[in-house]
Amino acid sequence: MPLLPLVAPIAIVSLVSPQEAQKPGAPALLEELVRVLNAGDAAARLAFAEKHCTTDVPAAQRSERLASLAERGAPFRVERLEAPSPVEARAWVVDKNGERSTLVLEASDGPDPRMIRLLVDDPESHPPRDYTGWTTLESLAESIAKDSGSPAMGIAVVRDGKLDVAVTGVREAGKDARVSADEPWSVGSIGKPICTTVIGLLVEKGKLRFETTLGEALPDVTMKPGYRDVTLEQLMKHRGGIPRDESFRAPDVRRIAGDVTTPLEIRKRYVADILSREPIAKPDSRFAYSNAGYALLSHVAERAAGMPYEELVRKTVFEPLGMTHSFVGTESLPPDRPSGHVPGPNGLRPMNMGGALESMVAGAGGGVWCSVGDLAKLGAAHLAGLRGEDGLLKAETVERLHSGTPEGGPENALYACGWGIHRHPTAGTSHGHNGSNGTMRAELAVFPKTNLVVVAIVNRGGEGDPPPGLEAVIAVASRFSGKKSGG
């Protein structure tokens, strides 16, 4: 979750000729959309959604998605535009961080064309590769690391209770120091299932309930009335109407953190900032992925437990599971570990996140680092519960944490309490989460039917699909599912 630097707005250039702009269809819609994204005007985004988008998704929800895209990358500079047909247009753009991506707009046909959807593709995206012929975890890691241009990759597998780990590559591009099995990697939003594990443990201790509301948990905190009845379970399922906060600018972090330096005090200020804003939806009305919601959860947890969230995670999750190579908070990180990397015009550049932002969003995964073997232990603890066994958590608690609700998207995916539930054509049903702070990409997947956990991480950021870690997960899980890959 990198800090996004301030960049002065640039002039909005025309994407297509004046003659083309007069024609209805995807090219003209894409031109107008880029203008709206670069303008930074919420009213203009909503007007575009109401006037130029299909009605299968509410205009307010479309507007929020456009706001998230604009926050992450606008202003966009267009390098090239292609319009294969009146119902599709592609713009190759450079965002405010200098990163390239492709905006793909699909439109309806007819005299009044409207945008059906907008896809954001990384230029490095590629069709899924078939790695199911792997012979060893080491060879699988080497192949995916090479194909994805990642300096290093780690894979861990728990199969019927047995842990296997393979790592390959170097800590930093262009240097010789190689990654070893016990070194920690940034796991990004996989910190969310760690956070819900903590909540589950506090529920079992009677310190919290799944139905505890924000008003009950934070009675002394000033908040907008729409937040008071939001429950912890709704927060964990991203159904609390909490602002998304998917990216941050450095001035925003400085404004929120102010002159405080301790993680607990930083979170107190961030919680106050979140709850001073208007909700984006009514509680439980819809799914809206929110890092801010998990920041609230971490603060609720640390208040209920009477200790800072970092200490709480170590004492209740890491230590009981033997996760001795895992950390929350960058100050305690060992120096010998993989460096993150971001792609740029001149190749990969080493980069690692730090500062107040990591403390603000610790519950969402900020500053959470785990070795691949340690992260597999977390997955194994939840696998045991899904198979009816009590362990770190009682089986009934695990079942509640993994009870999914439809996200409402076209793929009909389910999101539980920090766990996404997906059906893979060749790998079977998984409970998992991915994560990235912009410099690494991680995957955690639990397959209850085949008694399997797979973890895969690369020390390279980017948005190309499919993610390297997911390719490893599917390759391993397909091996044990008894099904053939479709390539």
Question: Do 81 and 167 reside in the same domain of the chain?
Answer: no
What does the DSSP assignment read for 211-254? Answer: T-BHHHH-TTS---GGGTT-BHHHHHTT-S-------EEHHHHH
Question: Do 38 and 70 reside in the same domain of the chain?
Answer: yes
Q: What does the pLDDT read at residue 482?
A: 65
Question: Do 340 and 456 reside in the same domain of the chain?
Answer: yes
CA distance 407 to 235: 14
Question: Do 28 and 58 reside in the same domain of the chain?
Answer: yes
Residue type, position 99, single letter:
E
Q: What does the pLDDT read at residue 122?
A: 67
* Backbone Cα Rg of the chain: 22
Burial of 211 (0-12, 13-18, 19+ CB in 10 A): exposed
Question: Do 177 and 38 reside in the same domain of the chain?
Answer: no
Question: Of the candidates 311, 340, 362, which is a domain's last residue?
Answer: 311
Question: Do 463 and 350 reside in the same domain of the chain?
Answer: yes
pTM: 0.80
Question: Which segments of the chain have a pLDDT < 50?
Answer: 1-23, 410, 484-487
Residue 15 domain boundaries: 3-121
Q: What does the pLDDT read at residue 183?
A: 98
With respect to residue 392, please indicate whether it lies within any of the assigned structural domains: yes
CATH number at residue 330: 3.40.710.10
Q: What does the pLDDT read at residue 1?
A: 30
Question: Do 215 and 144 reside in the same domain of the chain?
Answer: no
Q: What does the pLDDT read at residue 6?
A: 22
How does pLDDT run across 135-177, given as a tens digit for each residue?
999 999 999 999 999 999 999 999 999 999 999 999 999 999 9
- Residue 89 has phi, psi (to 5 degrees) of -140, 145
CA distance 6 to 250: 8
CA distance 448 to 433: 15
Q: What does the pLDDT read at residue 487?
A: 32
Q: What does the pLDDT read at residue 345?
A: 66
Q: What does the pLDDT read at residue 305?
A: 98
Question: Do 302 and 322 reside in the same domain of the chain?
Answer: no
How does pLDDT run across 255-275, given as a tens digit for each residue?
999 999 999 999 999 999 999
With respect to residue 130, please indicate whether it lies within any of the assigned structural domains: no
Q: What does the pLDDT read at residue 194?
A: 98
Q: What does the pLDDT read at residue 65?
A: 84
What ranges make up the beta strands (E) of 39-180? 77-85, 88-94, 100-107, 115-121, 152-159, 162-169
Q: Residue 249's beta-bridge partner residues?
A: 4
CA distance 363 to 294: 5
Question: Do 307 and 321 reside in the same domain of the chain?
Answer: no
Question: Do 362 and 475 reside in the same domain of the chain?
Answer: yes
Question: Do 339 and 433 reside in the same domain of the chain?
Answer: yes
Question: Of the candidates 311, 336, 367, which is a domain's last residue?
Answer: 311
CATH number at residue 32: 3.10.450
How does pLDDT run across 48-85, given as a tens digit for each residue?
999 999 887 788 888 888 988 898 889 999 988 888 77
3-4 vs 248-249, strand pairing mode? parallel
Question: Do 266 and 324 reside in the same domain of the chain?
Answer: no
Dihedral sign computed on CA atoms, order 140, 143, 146, 147: negative
